[in-house]
Amino acid sequence: MTEESNGPLKGIKVLDWTMWQFGPVASSMLGDMGADVIKIEALDGDVGRALARFNNQMVTLEGDRNAYFETCNRNKRGIAIDLKTEEGREIAYRLVKDADVLIENFRNGVAERLGMDFETLKKINPRLVYGSASGFGPKGPDAELPSLDGCGQARAGLMMSATPPGAEVPNRVAAAVSDQMGGITLCLGVMGALMARDREGIGQKVEVSHLSSTMWLQGLFVGMTLLGGAYSSVVERTKPRNPMVNLYQDKDGEWIQMMNPQPARYWKDFVKAMGLDYLLDDPVLGDPEQVGDHGTELVEILDKQFATKTFKEWDAIFRKLGFIYAKVQTVADLKDDVQVIANDYIVDFDHPVLGTVQMCNFPVAFSETPASIRREAPELGQHTEAILIDELGYDWDDIARFQEAGAIL
């Protein structure tokens, strides 16, 4: 399925020289917003194409597709070239000449060895915005170390932030969130550089790392810790300082996250809504700001009361009183969530191989220039010949020359 884009980046051309998730997510987001994204791959393809399992689950789909690669690489055309050949670099440089953006996420030093570094490419196109993703930043003793998602979560403190008190082993957040956050941050940086280019007339290099973006994901705690000392990110459920910011289980075993940071404002109505009016006369438990070491006792009382009604029943009571709360859901629950449906956060897409599938929509709604999913992830080298002939001015003799040199498939 392909349709004309009317997104905010319509007319912007992006070269996506990336692999795995970090870089591909950034370029896919640009594609969602209307940019024309050309994915440049080696002749053996992005390693994400060969992924069979993710978090110990099979991700293979019909037609030699896989859910991982499809998710990270929608809204792109594909070209496969060998950048180790002179002919391959010739093609790449001609692409760069008219491009607005190039994104790469290889280990520091790889781009330089292949002649695809910023200093080389800006001589070809001084207006080029060059997005570069790394593990731990471009400077320092660990700048050249390789990194994948778990490394970003580990080094930036996210694993410990997600680890419950008393746990013997640190807990990694699922779904490669350090990669995902890195891609989001890199997309943001590229957008800023495009605005600066329109104003100043020059391109620049934009550098983002697992470390920088995952620290920013936890920016509140990092900032508060720098200002006032270490802040714990995880509180034991049975020992809350504020019982109205806590998890409780309903009659069906479903969890409800209460999130009311102003207990004095809501406590009286909350206690009455729970049918625990007698607590208001208790000298200790009657004041949520004075609970202190008695939090465990109060949680036991609240646990028993929450277990008397279903979420649907509590929801009917809580929303009338303006409480802040949400049902705890799994990712699989999202497709049936009424708010997800109402806001088109998940949309249908007609995939040429997989048929009608559902995809997570672009997270920002534009009133006049909507983002959209227009193209499935490309097969390896799917658009090589069309791009070379229709856009770069090569002919079939050139195609034969490149094939003989091993520069293209």
Same domain, residue pair 122 and 69 = yes
The answer to whether residue 273 is domain-embedded is: yes
Regarding whether 154 and 57 lie in a shared domain, the answer is yes
Based on the structure, what is the number of domains in the chain? Answer: 2
Q: Is residue 282 part of a domain?
A: yes
Shared domain check, 118 and 265: no
Q: Which residue has the tokens 């008695």?
A: 294
The two structure tokens encoding residue 409: 């498939």
CATH code of 168's domain: 3.40.50.10540
Which pLDDT band, with edges at 50, 70 and 90, does 407 fall under?
A: very high
Residue among 34, 210, 204 nearest 126 (CA): 204
Q: Are residues 260 and 158 in the same domain?
A: no
pLDDT band at 295 (very low <50, low <70, confident <90, very high): confident
Predicted local distance difference test score (pLDDT) of residue 233: 65
Domain co-membership, 102 together with 206? yes
Tell whether 203 is covered by a domain: yes
Q: What is the sign of the dihedral through the CA atoms of 15, 19, 20 and 22?
A: negative
The confidence score (pLDDT) of residue 285 equals 84
pLDDT band for position 2 (50/70/90)?
low
Range of the domain at 119: 13-220+364-404
Task: Tell me the mean pLDDT in the region 291-296.
Answer: 78
In angstroms, the CA 239 to CA 139 distance is 42
Number of H helices, E strands in the chain: 16, 13
Q: Is 208 part of a structural domain of the chain?
A: yes
Identify the weakest region by mean pLDDT among 62-76, 111-125, 178-192, 280-294.
280-294
pLDDT digits (tens, 9 = 90+) for 320-344: 999 999 999 999 999 999 999 999 9
What count of residues does the chain have?
Answer: 409
Cβ atoms of 109 and 117 closer than 8 Å: no
Q: How far apart are CA 335 and CA 142, in angstroms?
A: 41
Residues 168, 317: one domain? no
Q: Does residue 103 belong to any structural domain of this protein?
A: yes
- Does residue 409 contact residue 43 with C-beta atoms inside 8 Å? yes
Indicate if 383 and 288 belong to the same structural domain: no
- In terms of domains, do 122 and 253 share one? no
| Stretch 52-69: mean pLDDT | 89
pLDDT for 197 beyond 80: yes
**H or E, element range at 274:** none
Read off the pLDDT of each residue in 39-49 and give the average, rounded to a whole number.
96
The mean of the pLDDT values for the chain is 94
155 φ, ψ (degrees, to nearest 5): -75, -30
Query: What is the domain-level CATH number for residue 249?
Result: 3.30.1540.10
Residues 214 and 290 in one domain: no
SS3 114: coil
Least confident residue range of 163-172, 229-238, 299-308: 229-238
Q: What is the mean pLDDT of residues 260-273?
A: 90
The residue ranges of DSSP E strands in 129-192, in sequence order, are: 129-134
Indicate if 250 and 216 belong to the same structural domain: no
- Quick one: 121 and 199 in the same domain? yes
pLDDT at 330: 95
Q: What percent of the chain has pLDDT over 70?
A: 99
Looking at residue 315, its amino acid is D
**pLDDT number for residue 23:** 97
Residue 294 identity: H
C-alpha angle 31-34-36 in degrees, rounded to nearest 5 = 60
Chain mean position to CA 1? 24
Is the predicted pLDDT of residue 236 greater than 90, yes or no?
Answer: no
Separation between Cα atoms, residue 16 and residue 27, nearest integer Å: 6
In tens, the pLDDT along 338-389 reads 999 999 999 999 999 999 999 999 999 999 999 999 999 999 999 999 999 9
Across-strand partners of 206? 131
pLDDT higher than 70, residue 55: yes
C-alpha distances (whole Å) from 183 to each of 94, 212, 215 are 26, 12, 14
Same domain assignment for residues 368 and 292: no
Exposure b/e, 13-44, CB count within 10 A at least 16 = b: bbbbbbbbbbbbbbbbbbbbbbbbbbbbbbbe
